[in-house]
Amino acid sequence: MRLQLASWPEVQEYLTDSTGIMMPIGSTEQHGPTGLIGTDAITAEEISWRAGELVNALVGPTISVGMAHHHLEFPGTMTLRPTTLVALIRDYIESLASHGFRRFLFVNGHGGNLATVGAAFYEIYQEFRQAHGADAPALRCRVLNWWDGSKVRALSDDLFGSRLGNHATPSEVSVAAFAYPGYVKHAELDPPVAPTGRFYDARDYRRRFPDGRIGSDPSMATPAHGERLLVAAAADLAEAYRQFMNED
Ligand code: NI
C-alpha cells in the first residue's frame, strides 16, 4: 500500500499490526543518451511498490532528488547538497515516528546516496537519544540498493554480463523502460561499451565519460528484461523487508 494512496484511518489500522515502512530514494540525473533522467527514482519506487504488495508493507513517498553533483555538467540533472538530504530524511522519519513507525527500510536507486543516507541515520539516532534519553523509541533505519539482492544480481549478470557497467546500466534502463514503455529512447552509442574509471568533480566526470555512461551498454535494455528484473528485485526486497521486520 502506498502512503499517498491511503487514508489516515487505513494508516492507523496498519500501525496496529506493523511499525515498518519502505522509503524509496532515487536521484534526478542524466543516465546516458537513452536513459531517463528519473531512472533512479523510478526504479526504486516501482520495485518498492511491487515488494510492498508482496509483504503488505506501506511504502512512503519517493525521495526523487538525491546526491548527483557529479552529473551536473549534463542538462536536466538536479541535486541536493548533503546537508539538505540529511535534513529532509530527518524530517521524514521524525514525522512518521511521531505516529508510531519504528522500522524504516530505505530502498535506494542511486549508489551516490549511500554515504549521506547513512549520515542521516546517525543524526536521527543521536537526536532521539538527546531528546528522549533512556525512553527514546527504538528506531531502526536501514538502506539497501535494489540491485544488490541475490536474485536480481544473478539475473542481471546472466542478461548483461560484463556489459552491465556502473552507470546508465542496461539493468536500470530496462526497469524504467518496463515502467514507462512509451518513453523508450534510441541513440547511437559510441563506443558501444562506455569507458570505466575513477572521477572527481562534475567537469572531470564529463571529460572522462562524455555521453554520461560508465562501463555500460544500455542498448541491451528492453522492457521485457525490465519486467523480469523488477520481479526478481521485488522478491529480493520482500525477503529483506521480512528479515528486517523480524530481527530482534
Ligand atoms: Ni542510476
Backbone angles phi, psi at 17, to 5 degrees: -115, -30
pLDDT class of 132 with cuts at 50, 70, 90: confident
H-helix or E-strand spanning residue 22: strand 20-25
Return d(Cα 240, Cα 46) in angstroms, integer. 16
- Looking at residues 90-117, what average pLDDT do you find? 97
Please give the mean pLDDT across all residues of the chain: 97
Say how many Å lie between the CA of residue 37 and the centre of ligand 1.
9
Residue 120: exposure state from Cβ atoms within 10 A (0-12, 13-18, ≥19): buried
Continuous H helices in the chain: 8-15, 39-55, 82-99, 114-132, 150-160, 170-179, 202-208, 223-246
Q: Tens digits of per-residue pLDDT, 172-198?
A: 999 999 999 999 999 999 999 999 999
Could you please state the CATH topology (level 3) that the domain comprising 3-157+227-246 is classified under.
Rossmann fold (3.40.50)
Residue 82: exposure state from Cβ atoms within 10 A (0-12, 13-18, ≥19): middle
Contact of 223 with 34, CB cutoff 8 Å: no
Say how many Å lie between the CA of residue 176 and the centre of ligand 1.
10
Instruction: Report domain extents, the chain.
Output: 3-157+227-246
What pLDDT score does 135 carry? 84
Say how many Å lie between the CA of residue 30 and the centre of ligand 1.
8
DSSP-derived secondary structure letter, 155: H
Say how many Å lie between the CA of residue 247 and the centre of ligand 1.
30
Say how many Å lie between the CA of residue 137 and the centre of ligand 1.
34
Say how many Å lie between the CA of residue 11 and the centre of ligand 1.
31
H-helix or E-strand spanning residue 34: none
C-alpha cell at 114: 549511500
DSSP-derived secondary structure letter, 75: T
pLDDT class of 65 with cuts at 50, 70, 90: very high
